[in-house]
Structure 1
């Protein structure tokens, strides 16, 4: 029976073999097509992810470069306008043939250029003729040059600030130009121009396979990490653009030829993939490289754009590795399929269950490893950020302390003449009385000599008090807040301006509520604030017929109010709005830096207090320091 059954089954198997062979070929064709499709999708997906990552990294770097460029240019934006504050500059534009004025303005511009660390500063008349320049000593001096053809000069002469990047026509040195009109009584007399070299920014840009470019509104590249691309264009220039650049001589003698882009492929997410011929190898030996282009438009200067080219070699290598890996994985599963198919049905179920269990276990380990890696990376990043922030906070604290110390040194410098007078008089008296003591001893007049020596001792003690007070004022302060006697701090500060009060015939009065008042602050820095306020008050009363300086110390709830009033002209609304801005001053040029009130206001804020200014009803100006009452004061109440 078995043999008969087998003979019946075998033919049926042979009869079904032909139809199954056709279906099997179609199935294997579909499997092969799916295999190739998966490999292509893995390659495409991996490459697109790598391109997106390159774009994000390029955009982050461009943000840093844009910020660096804009900060570098903003430092000089105000400089041309400040030149009209110099009276010699105004007089030079009115009488340009005065050799003494030309020499004085040249030296002033040379000093300003050195302090600002710019390339050049020069003054031109309404015809664009340069009459004074900071580089007047050099053989490539700008004096006598006509800059009227430059767009920045034309903009400034029209009454708008001139901004322009170009190559210098005198010494072929590129730079960014800031120009502003010089006015007197609303009438334009000429223009001031500051030239700044921004070429040093290239040194901080990415080196290696990635490339960075900065192009102007016409697509001309003037800063780049690739020297061969400097003064090349992103695309051929239109004839009218070329004529305009020739007229303005923006790039002078440089040939503005386009970069040889071999291809430019745009992707769906806004990315661009370009292929460029490597200029390092000549002729047929030159290599080509593909890059992802990331562009970022600048707000100022307008229409400039940063371009970052990220090399695609690594991205394509990653995509190829992913495609190979997918081939290996698919091949592995294909071989596994053949292996499982050759097994019997019972064994196939067992192996499939084991494989699924192993896959779940491997996937779990992978997820745990990936999550652990992400957490470690995040922890490391947070640790680095905390360290950077702590270091920045420490540097800021050190810088503030040095700024406060510099402010005290500036005050001591302004009072140097008075201090010198205070010490010269006792020194002269010491010398005279010492000579007299020798004569008296020779003559045997011991009592008179003894009186002389006692007077000398008193004078020496007086000089010691002066130098001791200066030493206390000049020493660096601590940052801890303590209970400070306000009358004592006022007396110490008053000691440093006492000579000015006597010489300038200023009446001083101090009113303190109660015997003593204590506030939470730091004594040395509070004295620095008081000395600044006293010195400013004395300066404001320089031309006043009545000179009076008054200090009132009162208590208001849990606050101590220290009011410093003078009989000067008071504060205008415009001055009060900018009173505590750094480098703002109403004093003549060279007399003050404009930092005293800014430093004083910051010191008061560090005490947890307030420094404000107003005009009292009786005239003059009044500055009020509001501080917290110290615990020691509360115990005395």
Structure 2
């Protein structure tokens, strides 16, 4: 009786433990269902913000490098004016009007070639003696520019740059100034004005914003036009007084931006919200991640503002997705429990299906073995055809390079002559103890050598064998590379070149080296056809649709005859005199473009010849 009595009360004590355990498990499941979506929200927001920061930092570096390259390109122009004897003569004899006219015309031509806004010469009293805009009503000639800091610094022997709004033209630009010396004695200052406004056109990145500010916090370049010539914070009275004295931002009020939020983050970035002046106070401005990049020599700062709305939207999507996925997994678990009961029936069906698959696989294996032999034969034929085509393409390149050898030799002889002259000058300057001028000459020699390296590099890149793989290729870059190889001939033949492209850059699916070969062939044919024409003009027009890219190469030559138009892409047919062409250029070019999945055709033109390249559009990668 005692064992029975001791075992009876044990059963009711064990029964309530199972429901309690089940409730605990489902409570943990519910807690995880709430915690995981919030964790996913936090993690996705963190990762997306970091990606925005990395992308913004990369774009900042690209913008800064592009701007520095643009400004450095013009740094040498004022220093070269010291070598012109007429410039030295005008500063020594300011009353000589013939000298002034000669210098004005020289500066006008130099300004057109350099692509700058203006070039002018200033005497020691800060008055302009000659200028490239001497023909215009707002000419700088005779103006007193001694109030500009860059002029005063250059007169003190400290050359440098300065961004400001022109007091005469009211157009903003970047000014360089460098002293003009003769036998160690300063005679005056050479200055150049360069427009950098076009840089901000490429800064727009969707909802992101870019701004460039000076040491006083004044925004003078920005992708948001409403922010231009505003300040990050109110200017002090002393700073405003200095800006009014130098007239750096002529007649600009320079009001401050309204910051609705400003918060410093741990990684050196800031969280900003800038209120738009046109929006009401009730509308909350979007918060943006602000990153900076300093341009130390010029004391400027790039600020990149990344829109965080996308990061937060992704975080909300991750929250909802995690919540739904967790619920789906719970339902999937319940479904799996029911699925186990039907496992045996499915296994039987699977076994029968497996036998059918084995039989079918054996049949397909026999068919595949028969087809494999035929595929190997065709593959060998295609490989041989591909090798023959590549050799033909390479032969076409070498033929073009042979035709261009004279202009390439002349292009390299000029810098070689300049190198010899400047090195001889450096020896004389070294003997006279003018170390600053020696250093300047050596820097110039380095830049000339770099120019020669660019030319030979382009020739080497053009001559190398192409890769058969297709990729996204910049059309602007391909045209620029082809122009390097015909640039000298354009100058020698006095051919006017015009390029029209409907956006900052366009990308096509092709091979860059072979596309440059086609462009160079079309440009060379155009130059050959215009040899006897009174008007010589070469035009390249680029436009695109979301699916296709069109490149038109047109000339002002005699055009195409009816016979030439019908036999245009026929191998070994040429309209050139015997010995000046093999007749393979257009045939090779048409084959290359066809391999890209595009087409090369001659378009009907009112005057001259016009060839159209049609390619598949591609996205930048």
Name the structure 1 match of 2:108. Answer: 110
Name the structure 2 match of 1:222. Answer: 220
Change (3 A) 1:312 1:150: same
CA distance in 2, matches of 1:321, 1:250: 49
Kept in 1: contact 2:175–2:192 (CA 8 A): yes
| Structure 1 position 49, deviation (Å) | 0.6
Kept in 1: contact 2:218–2:230 (CA 8 A): yes
State yes or no: 1:265 paired with 2:269.
no
In the alignment, which of 327, 330, 334 is matched to residue 331 of structure 1? Answer: 327
State yes or no: 1:246 paired with 2:99.
no
Name the structure 2 match of 1:123. Answer: 121
String of CA shifts for 1:144-187, please: whole Å, max 9, x gaps. 22211211112101101121111111111000000011111211
String of CA shifts for 1:372-417, please: whole Å, max 9, x gaps. xxxxxxxxxxxxxxxxxxxxx99x999988985336568xxxxxxx
Name the structure 1 match of 2:47. Answer: 49
CA distance in 2, matches of 1:405, 1:122: 36
Change (3 A) 1:168 1:6: farther
Name the structure 1 match of 2:370. Answer: none
In the alignment, which of 197, 202, 208 is matched to residue 195 of structure 2? Answer: 197
| Structure 1 position 101, deviation (Å) | 2.2
CA distance in 1, matches of 2:222, 2:71: 18
Name the structure 2 match of 1:574. Answer: 427
State yes or no: 1:305 paired with 2:301.
yes
Unaligned runs of 5+ in 1: 351-392, 411-527, 541-569, 586-593, 607-637
Count of equivalent residues: 392
| Structure 1 position 251, deviation (Å) | 1.0
CA distance in 2, matches of 1:7, 1:338: 36
CA distance in 1, matches of 2:257, 2:400: 46
Name the structure 1 match of 2:406. Answer: 405
Kept in 2: contact 1:151–1:162 (CA 8 A): no
Kept in 2: contact 1:278–1:286 (CA 8 A): no
In the alignment, which of 202, 205, 208 is matched to residue 206 of structure 2? Answer: 208
CA distance in 1, matches of 2:425, 2:270: 57
Kept in 1: contact 2:118–2:132 (CA 8 A): yes
Name the structure 2 match of 1:296. Answer: 293
Unaligned runs of 5+ in 2: 344-393, 431-437, 461-621
Change (3 A) 1:157 1:573: closer
Kept in 1: contact 2:116–2:194 (CA 8 A): yes
Change (3 A) 1:251 1:571: closer
Kept in 2: contact 1:130–1:145 (CA 8 A): yes
CA distance in 2, matches of 1:401, 1:241: 62
Name the structure 2 match of 1:319. Answer: 315
In the alignment, which of 265, 277, 282 is matched to residue 279 of structure 2? Answer: 282
CA distance in 2, matches of 1:33, 1:266: 34
| Structure 1 position 109, deviation (Å) | 1.1
CA distance in 2, matches of 1:330, 1:147: 72
String of CA shifts for 1:525-553, please: whole Å, max 9, x gaps. xxx98x999x99xx99xxxxxxxxxxxxx
CA distance in 2, matches of 1:240, 1:178: 25
Kept in 1: contact 2:426–2:442 (CA 8 A): no
String of CA shifts for 1:89-137, please: whole Å, max 9, x gaps. 2222222223222222211111111111110011111121112111111
Q: Secondary structure at the match of 1:42?
A: helix
CA distance in 1, matches of 2:57, 2:335: 50
Change (3 A) 1:274 1:36: farther
| Structure 1 position 14, deviation (Å) | 9.5
CA distance in 2, matches of 1:403, 1:300: 41
Structure-1-length-normalised TM-score:
0.52
Name the structure 2 match of 1:139. Answer: 137
For residues 607-618 of structure 1, what are the structure 2 equivalents within 5 Å? none
CA distance in 1, matches of 2:39, 2:272: 22
Q: Which has the larger radius of gyration?
A: 1
For residues 438-587 of structure 1, what are the structure 2 equivalents within 5 Å? 574=427
CA distance in 1, matches of 2:110, 2:45: 54
CA distance in 1, matches of 2:94, 2:424: 37
CA distance in 1, matches of 2:134, 2:241: 32
Q: Secondary structure at the match of 1:39?
A: helix
Change (3 A) 1:573 1:189: closer
Name the structure 1 match of 2:165. Answer: 167
Change (3 A) 1:151 1:397: farther
Change (3 A) 1:581 1:297: closer
Name the structure 1 match of 2:590. Answer: none
Q: Secondary structure at the match of 2:157?
A: coil
Name the structure 2 match of 1:436. Answer: none
| Structure 1 position 284, deviation (Å) | 4.8
CA distance in 1, matches of 2:400, 2:176: 30
CA RMSD across the alignment: 4.9
CA distance in 2, matches of 1:573, 1:170: 39
String of CA shifts for 1:49-107, please: whole Å, max 9, x gaps. 11111111112222221121111111110111111222222222222223222222211
Kept in 1: contact 2:271–2:289 (CA 8 A): yes
CA distance in 2, matches of 1:258, 1:51: 28
Kept in 1: contact 2:415–2:452 (CA 8 A): no
CA distance in 1, matches of 2:108, 2:319: 64
CA distance in 1, matches of 2:101, 2:132: 11
Name the structure 1 match of 2:58. Answer: 60
